Amino acid sequence: MNVSQLTAVVVCVLIGNLWGGWGASPSCAQEGLAQKVQDGSGRREPHVQQKAVEIYAGLYLLGSLAKNRNLTVGGEALPQTTVSDHAGGGIKAGIFPAFTNYVVGIQAEMFGLGSEIAAPQSVGSGGIQSGRGTLLAWNTLVSLIVRYPGEQFQPYIGAGAGWSSSLLVGTDLMKGTTTQSGIARDMSFAYQYFTGLRANLTERVFVFGEYKFFGSRFNWSGSLHPSLDFRTHIVALGAGLSF
Protein backbone atom coordinates (compact mmCIF):
# COMPACT_ATOMS: atom_id res chain seq x y z
CA MET A 1 0.00 0.00 0.00
CA ASN A 2 1.54 3.44 -1.01
CA VAL A 3 1.52 6.62 1.09
CA SER A 4 -1.52 8.18 -0.58
CA GLN A 5 -3.60 5.02 -0.10
CA LEU A 6 -2.55 4.78 3.57
CA THR A 7 -3.49 8.45 4.14
CA ALA A 8 -6.92 7.87 2.58
CA VAL A 9 -7.53 4.86 4.83
CA VAL A 10 -6.58 6.81 7.98
CA VAL A 11 -8.84 9.73 7.04
CA CYS A 12 -11.75 7.41 6.33
CA VAL A 13 -11.26 5.59 9.65
CA LEU A 14 -11.27 8.92 11.55
CA ILE A 15 -14.43 10.06 9.77
CA GLY A 16 -16.01 6.68 10.52
CA ASN A 17 -15.27 7.13 14.23
CA LEU A 18 -16.90 10.57 14.22
CA TRP A 19 -19.97 9.16 12.47
CA GLY A 20 -20.05 6.10 14.69
CA GLY A 21 -22.53 7.70 17.07
CA TRP A 22 -25.15 7.60 14.26
CA GLY A 23 -24.36 3.94 13.53
CA ALA A 24 -22.88 4.70 10.12
CA SER A 25 -19.46 4.60 8.52
CA PRO A 26 -18.39 5.58 5.03
CA SER A 27 -17.80 2.81 2.51
CA CYS A 28 -14.26 3.92 1.88
CA ALA A 29 -13.30 3.00 5.50
CA GLN A 30 -14.77 -0.46 5.08
CA GLU A 31 -12.91 -0.98 1.83
CA GLY A 32 -9.67 0.31 3.35
CA LEU A 33 -9.88 -2.00 6.34
CA ALA A 34 -10.62 -4.96 4.11
CA GLN A 35 -7.65 -4.11 1.96
CA LYS A 36 -5.30 -4.17 4.97
CA VAL A 37 -5.89 -7.89 5.51
CA GLN A 38 -4.83 -8.63 1.94
CA ASP A 39 -1.30 -9.20 0.74
CA GLY A 40 0.53 -7.02 -1.78
CA SER A 41 -1.10 -8.81 -4.77
CA GLY A 42 -4.63 -8.28 -3.48
CA ARG A 43 -5.16 -11.97 -2.56
CA ARG A 44 -6.06 -13.16 0.94
CA GLU A 45 -3.60 -15.41 2.76
CA PRO A 46 -4.80 -19.03 3.08
CA HIS A 47 -5.80 -19.94 6.64
CA VAL A 48 -5.60 -23.75 6.24
CA GLN A 49 -2.15 -25.35 6.11
CA GLN A 50 -1.72 -28.58 4.18
CA LYS A 51 -0.32 -31.57 6.10
CA ALA A 52 3.19 -32.64 5.08
CA VAL A 53 2.18 -36.29 5.40
CA GLU A 54 -0.99 -38.29 6.11
CA ILE A 55 -0.48 -41.08 8.66
CA TYR A 56 -3.11 -43.76 9.23
CA ALA A 57 -3.64 -46.97 11.19
CA GLY A 58 -6.37 -49.60 11.14
CA LEU A 59 -7.64 -52.95 12.40
CA TYR A 60 -9.46 -55.57 10.34
CA LEU A 61 -11.05 -59.01 10.30
CA LEU A 62 -10.50 -61.35 7.36
CA GLY A 63 -11.83 -64.45 5.74
CA SER A 64 -9.35 -66.74 3.98
CA LEU A 65 -10.55 -68.69 0.91
CA ALA A 66 -7.60 -71.04 0.40
CA LYS A 67 -6.78 -72.90 -2.81
CA ASN A 68 -6.29 -76.67 -2.61
CA ARG A 69 -2.59 -77.40 -3.13
CA ASN A 70 -0.96 -80.79 -2.56
CA LEU A 71 0.94 -81.25 0.70
CA THR A 72 4.43 -82.63 0.09
CA VAL A 73 5.76 -85.27 2.51
CA GLY A 74 9.20 -86.83 2.17
CA GLY A 75 9.65 -85.09 -1.18
CA GLU A 76 6.46 -86.54 -2.67
CA ALA A 77 3.15 -84.73 -3.23
CA LEU A 78 0.08 -86.25 -1.56
CA PRO A 79 -2.83 -86.22 -4.04
CA GLN A 80 -6.28 -84.84 -3.19
CA THR A 81 -4.99 -82.58 -0.42
CA THR A 82 -7.63 -80.15 0.86
CA VAL A 83 -6.82 -76.79 2.48
CA SER A 84 -9.83 -75.40 4.38
CA ASP A 85 -11.14 -71.86 4.48
CA HIS A 86 -10.64 -70.02 7.74
CA ALA A 87 -10.79 -66.62 9.46
CA GLY A 88 -8.22 -64.28 10.97
CA GLY A 89 -7.38 -60.64 11.61
CA GLY A 90 -4.70 -58.02 11.27
CA ILE A 91 -3.40 -54.50 11.82
CA LYS A 92 -1.90 -52.02 9.38
CA ALA A 93 -0.34 -48.55 9.32
CA GLY A 94 0.97 -46.36 6.54
CA ILE A 95 1.83 -42.91 5.22
CA PHE A 96 0.93 -40.81 2.17
CA PRO A 97 3.42 -37.91 1.67
CA ALA A 98 2.21 -34.53 0.40
CA PHE A 99 4.81 -34.45 -2.41
CA THR A 100 2.95 -37.36 -4.07
CA ASN A 101 -0.35 -35.41 -3.73
CA TYR A 102 -1.35 -38.16 -1.27
CA VAL A 103 -1.59 -40.62 -4.18
CA VAL A 104 1.40 -42.93 -3.51
CA GLY A 105 2.03 -44.37 -0.05
CA ILE A 106 3.85 -47.07 1.91
CA GLN A 107 2.07 -49.47 4.27
CA ALA A 108 3.22 -52.04 6.82
CA GLU A 109 0.86 -54.69 8.13
CA MET A 110 0.69 -57.87 10.17
CA PHE A 111 -2.10 -60.43 9.95
CA GLY A 112 -2.76 -63.96 11.12
CA LEU A 113 -4.68 -66.77 9.46
CA GLY A 114 -5.12 -70.52 9.70
CA SER A 115 -6.27 -73.55 7.70
CA GLU A 116 -6.88 -77.24 8.22
CA ILE A 117 -4.78 -79.38 5.85
CA ALA A 118 -5.71 -82.98 5.10
CA ALA A 119 -4.44 -85.53 2.58
CA PRO A 120 -6.13 -88.97 2.51
CA GLN A 121 -4.18 -92.21 2.33
CA SER A 122 -2.64 -93.00 -1.02
CA VAL A 123 0.12 -95.23 -2.36
CA GLY A 124 3.42 -93.57 -3.18
CA SER A 125 6.95 -94.61 -3.97
CA GLY A 126 7.63 -95.37 -0.28
CA GLY A 127 4.35 -97.19 0.38
CA ILE A 128 1.23 -95.93 2.14
CA GLN A 129 1.29 -92.17 2.71
CA SER A 130 -1.03 -89.58 4.26
CA GLY A 131 -0.89 -86.28 6.10
CA ARG A 132 -2.88 -83.81 8.16
CA GLY A 133 -2.31 -80.83 10.41
CA THR A 134 -3.45 -77.30 11.27
CA LEU A 135 -1.65 -74.37 9.66
CA LEU A 136 -1.20 -71.21 11.78
CA ALA A 137 0.60 -68.33 10.07
CA TRP A 138 1.52 -64.81 11.20
CA ASN A 139 2.52 -62.63 8.25
CA THR A 140 4.44 -59.34 8.14
CA LEU A 141 4.54 -57.39 4.87
CA VAL A 142 5.47 -53.96 3.51
CA SER A 143 3.47 -52.72 0.52
CA LEU A 144 3.43 -49.91 -2.03
CA ILE A 145 -0.05 -48.36 -2.47
CA VAL A 146 -1.52 -46.15 -5.19
CA ARG A 147 -4.91 -44.56 -4.55
CA TYR A 148 -7.36 -41.98 -5.83
CA PRO A 149 -7.37 -39.25 -3.12
CA GLY A 150 -11.09 -38.53 -3.15
CA GLU A 151 -12.82 -36.45 -0.51
CA GLN A 152 -15.00 -39.31 0.79
CA PHE A 153 -14.27 -42.46 -1.25
CA GLN A 154 -10.72 -43.58 -2.02
CA PRO A 155 -10.22 -46.71 -4.14
CA TYR A 156 -6.69 -48.14 -4.06
CA ILE A 157 -4.43 -50.92 -5.30
CA GLY A 158 -1.15 -52.25 -3.94
CA ALA A 159 1.46 -54.98 -3.80
CA GLY A 160 3.92 -56.03 -1.14
CA ALA A 161 6.36 -58.60 0.18
CA GLY A 162 7.69 -59.78 3.52
CA TRP A 163 7.80 -62.99 5.51
CA SER A 164 5.50 -65.55 7.08
CA SER A 165 6.16 -67.25 10.40
CA SER A 166 4.13 -70.48 10.39
CA LEU A 167 3.40 -73.53 12.50
CA LEU A 168 1.94 -76.88 11.48
CA VAL A 169 0.34 -78.14 14.70
CA GLY A 170 -1.44 -81.42 15.41
CA THR A 171 0.76 -82.94 12.75
CA ASP A 172 0.07 -86.53 11.71
CA LEU A 173 2.23 -87.50 8.73
CA MET A 174 3.08 -90.93 7.35
CA LYS A 175 5.21 -92.19 4.47
CA GLY A 176 5.79 -95.94 4.53
CA THR A 177 7.24 -96.79 7.92
CA THR A 178 8.28 -93.20 8.73
CA THR A 179 5.94 -90.97 10.69
CA GLN A 180 6.03 -87.42 12.05
CA SER A 181 3.85 -85.80 14.71
CA GLY A 182 3.84 -82.75 17.00
CA ILE A 183 4.64 -79.20 15.84
CA ALA A 184 6.64 -78.20 12.75
CA ARG A 185 7.96 -74.64 12.22
CA ASP A 186 9.00 -72.46 9.31
CA MET A 187 9.92 -68.87 8.35
CA SER A 188 9.42 -68.16 4.65
CA PHE A 189 9.12 -65.41 2.05
CA ALA A 190 5.58 -64.11 1.50
CA TYR A 191 3.91 -61.78 -1.01
CA GLN A 192 0.54 -60.21 -1.70
CA TYR A 193 -1.32 -57.94 -4.09
CA PHE A 194 -4.60 -56.28 -3.29
CA THR A 195 -7.32 -53.77 -4.12
CA GLY A 196 -9.76 -52.01 -1.85
CA LEU A 197 -12.01 -49.07 -1.09
CA ARG A 198 -11.69 -46.65 1.83
CA ALA A 199 -14.67 -44.53 2.92
CA ASN A 200 -14.02 -41.50 5.14
CA LEU A 201 -16.77 -41.13 7.76
CA THR A 202 -15.21 -38.03 9.34
CA GLU A 203 -11.96 -36.11 8.91
CA ARG A 204 -10.17 -38.78 10.99
CA VAL A 205 -12.33 -41.93 11.03
CA PHE A 206 -12.61 -44.29 8.05
CA VAL A 207 -13.78 -47.79 7.18
CA PHE A 208 -12.48 -50.01 4.40
CA GLY A 209 -13.06 -53.21 2.49
CA GLU A 210 -10.29 -55.09 0.74
CA TYR A 211 -9.56 -58.10 -1.44
CA LYS A 212 -6.06 -59.55 -1.51
CA PHE A 213 -4.24 -62.55 -2.93
CA PHE A 214 -1.58 -63.94 -0.59
CA GLY A 215 1.03 -66.61 -1.11
CA SER A 216 3.98 -68.28 0.63
CA ARG A 217 5.96 -71.51 0.27
CA PHE A 218 6.00 -73.24 3.66
CA ASN A 219 8.86 -75.70 4.27
CA TRP A 220 8.34 -77.07 7.77
CA SER A 221 10.87 -78.84 9.97
CA GLY A 222 10.77 -82.54 10.84
CA SER A 223 11.87 -85.95 9.65
CA LEU A 224 9.50 -85.93 6.67
CA HIS A 225 10.13 -82.25 5.77
CA PRO A 226 6.48 -81.40 4.96
CA SER A 227 5.91 -78.45 2.65
CA LEU A 228 3.00 -76.60 1.05
CA ASP A 229 2.84 -74.03 -1.74
CA PHE A 230 0.15 -71.97 0.02
CA ARG A 231 -2.19 -69.69 -1.94
CA THR A 232 -5.30 -67.97 -0.66
CA HIS A 233 -7.87 -65.30 -1.51
CA ILE A 234 -8.57 -62.93 1.39
CA VAL A 235 -11.52 -60.62 2.01
CA ALA A 236 -10.98 -58.06 4.79
CA LEU A 237 -13.25 -55.50 6.50
CA GLY A 238 -11.96 -52.96 9.00
CA ALA A 239 -11.80 -49.45 10.40
CA GLY A 240 -9.08 -46.96 11.23
CA LEU A 241 -7.91 -43.46 12.09
CA SER A 242 -6.09 -40.87 9.96
CA PHE A 243 -3.69 -38.32 11.51
Paired strand residues for 86: 64
Q: 49: helix, coil or strand?
A: coil
Residues 90-135: tens digit of each pLDDT: 999 999 999 999 999 999 999 999 999 999 999 998 899 999 999 9
Q: What is the mean pLDDT of the chain?
A: 86
Residue 79 backbone dihedrals phi, psi, to 5 degrees: -70, 155
Q: What is the dihedral of CA 197, 156, 100, 111, to 10 degrees?
A: 90
Whether 42 shows a pLDDT value over 70: the answer reads no
- pLDDT average, residue stretch 206-216: 98
Distance between CA atoms of 219 and 74, rounded to whole angstroms?
Answer: 11
If you compute the radius of gyration of the chain from its CA atoms, what whole number of angstroms results? 32
pTM of the model: 0.77
Residues 127-164: tens digit of each pLDDT: 999 999 999 999 999 999 999 999 999 999 999 999 99
Residues 169-190: tens digit of each pLDDT: 999 999 999 999 999 999 999 9
User: Which residue segments constitute the domains of the chain, with CATH numbers given?
Assistant: 1-49 (no CATH), 53-242 (2.40.160.20)
pLDDT band at 76 (very low <50, low <70, confident <90, very high): very high
Q: 13: helix, coil or strand?
A: helix
Contacts of residue 183, defined as CB under 8 A and 6 or more positions apart, other chains included, come to 167, 168, 169, 171
Q: 79: helix, coil or strand?
A: coil
Contacts of residue 131, defined as CB under 8 A and 6 or more positions apart, other chains included, come to 71, 73, 78, 81, 117, 118, 119, 172, 173, 174, 226
* Percent of the chain with pLDDT strictly greater than 70: 80
